Amino acid sequence: MIVVMQAGASDKAVDEVVERIVQLGLNTNIIRGTERTIIGVIGTSFKAELAEMLASAAEVDSIIPVSKKYKLASREFNPVATVVELNGGLTIGGSEVVVIVGPGAVESEEQLVAVARAAKEAGGHILKGDVFKPRASPYAFRGLGLEGLKMLAKVREELAMPILTEVHSTEEIELATTYADIILIGPHNMQNFNLLEEVGRTMRPVMIQRGNSATIEEWLLAAEYALNTGNKAVILCEGGIRSFDPSTRAVLDLAVIPLVKKLSHLPIVVNPSQATGKGFLVPPMGLAAIAAGADGLIIEVHPHPDQALAEGPESLTIAEFEQMITQVKNITRARKQAL
């Protein structure tokens, strides 16, 4: 941590800052520049509050953190890429691209089975079904709950596909962990810290989707909350950030894939359906994500998008999905050659 004093700061102000740092058992190194004095703080055991305290001290211009705020999530802490292994042996973060398929909201057993069978046959690996549906409006369809989870469990048994489902509050965790293999924490809840910790403690693999205006640092700090419970099976998911352009629902920020892989050891998947909100954009953006190095994709598929109770416009038909999977395989192969 570096303390930058104001231009022309007095010796007294510099001494006061140094004294406070030393009182906390840390060392300092002072650089007196031609315009400003800066104070380096040396030591590892900073209280997180130190930066805020010093920022309020007299004649201090700003505080510059040098070390990262997250530790367990960092590549420096764990140089080897994390590979999350699910029951049944499927892995996320290894050499294969994982395809997660979902109908958006679970509406009926019939709909779910149609999607799941087609997905499995085309080469999909994991079934995503949302049974607790948070909606921006209280008047929209809000999910089937327990009934839906049972349908998911039935499909899992029949097709041997692992299940991914989203939870929105701690009350839903117990039910979800009974039936699901991966628990998703959605973008609205990325900074719901109680939920991150409670889901982490289940030791079930947890996927954390980036909040729609979260920085990468905030996202990795959210992962840190889950990792801090001892759970090592944390997966990141990019599903778009909010911008000024109404053309798409969100902007899919694909540069986070190589960036996260440099900063962190955690696997990362991408959800082009949710980000774009438009079916015709899903295949090109899914392929782009693979080319950029994503470990997997989440694709919304619906037997009849125009009758879906949610996520219709962004869903692919089963035929479109099958075609996309072929393309994904081509790009995956090219990427392997490429690297």
Nearest residue (CB) to a second copy, 3 versus 127: 3
- Contact pattern from residue 132 through residue 171 relative to a second copy, giving x for each residue in contact according to CB under 8 A and a dash for the rest: --xxxxxxxx--------------------------xxxx
- Three-class SS state of 29: strand
d(CA 205, CA 220): 16
- Three-class SS state of 261: helix
- Three-class SS state of 288: helix
Structure tokens of 266? 């955690």
Nearest residue (CB) to a second copy, 9 versus 159: 9
Residue 134 sits at the vertex; the CA angle it makes with 221 and 206, to the nearest 5 degrees, is 40
Q: In angstroms, give the least distance from the CB of 172 to a second copy.
A: 8
Interactions with a second copy, residue window 15-34 (CB under 8 A):
29, 31-34
Nearest residue (CB) to a second copy, 12 versus 157: 12
Nearest residue (CB) to a second copy, 159 versus 291: 291
Give the residue among 56, 228, 146 at the shortest CA–CA distance from 220.
Answer: 228
Nearest residue (CB) to a second copy, 162 versus 240: 240
The answer to whether the beta carbons of residues 37 and 30 sit under 8 Å apart is yes
H or E element in which residue 269 lies: strand 268-270
Residue 233: CB atoms within 10 Å: 22
> How many residues of this chain interact with a second copy, rule: CB under 8 A?
114
Nearest residue (CB) to a second copy, 85 versus 217: 217
Interactions with a second copy, residue window 212-231 (CB under 8 A):
212-213, 215-218, 221, 224-225, 228
The answer to whether the beta carbons of residues 187 and 239 sit under 8 Å apart is yes
Instruction: Pick from 15, 19, 43, 85 the residue near a second copy by CB under 8 A.
Output: 43
Residue written as token pair 């029951």: 87
Q: Which region among 63-71, 91-99, 112-120, 155-163 touches a second copy (by CB under 8 A)? A: 63-71
Q: In angstroms, give the least distance from the CB of 43 to a second copy.
A: 6
Q: In angstroms, give the least distance from the CB of 204 to a second copy.
A: 19
Report CA-CA distances (Å) from 213 to 125, 240, 244, 293, 335. Answer: 29, 9, 12, 22, 30
137 secondary structure, DSSP code: S
CA 57 to chain centre: 36
- Three-class SS state of 199: helix
- Three-class SS state of 131: coil
Interactions with a second copy, residue window 225-264 (CB under 8 A):
225, 228, 241-248, 251-259, 262
Q: Is 177 in the site for a second copy (CB under 8 A)?
A: no
- The amino acid sitting at 297 is L
Q: Is 95 in the site for a second copy (CB under 8 A)?
A: no
Q: In angstroms, give the least distance from the CB of 182 to a second copy.
A: 21
d(CA 250, CA 96): 27
Nearest residue (CB) to a second copy, 89 versus 136: 136
Contacts of 157 (CB under 8 A, 6+ apart): none
Nearest residue (CB) to a second copy, 155 versus 270: 270
Instruction: Pick from 279, 300, 301, 318 the residue near a second copy by CB under 8 A.
Output: 279
Q: Which region among 85-93, 115-123, 131-139, 146-154 touches a second copy (by CB under 8 A)? A: 131-139
Residue 317: CB atoms within 10 Å: 16
Q: In angstroms, give the least distance from the CB of 234 to a second copy.
A: 13
Instruction: Pick from 94, 123, 303, 313 the residue near a second copy by CB under 8 A.
Output: 313
Instruction: Pick from 185, 281, 299, 301 the residue near a second copy by CB under 8 A.
Output: 281
Q: Is 35 in the site for a second copy (CB under 8 A)?
A: yes
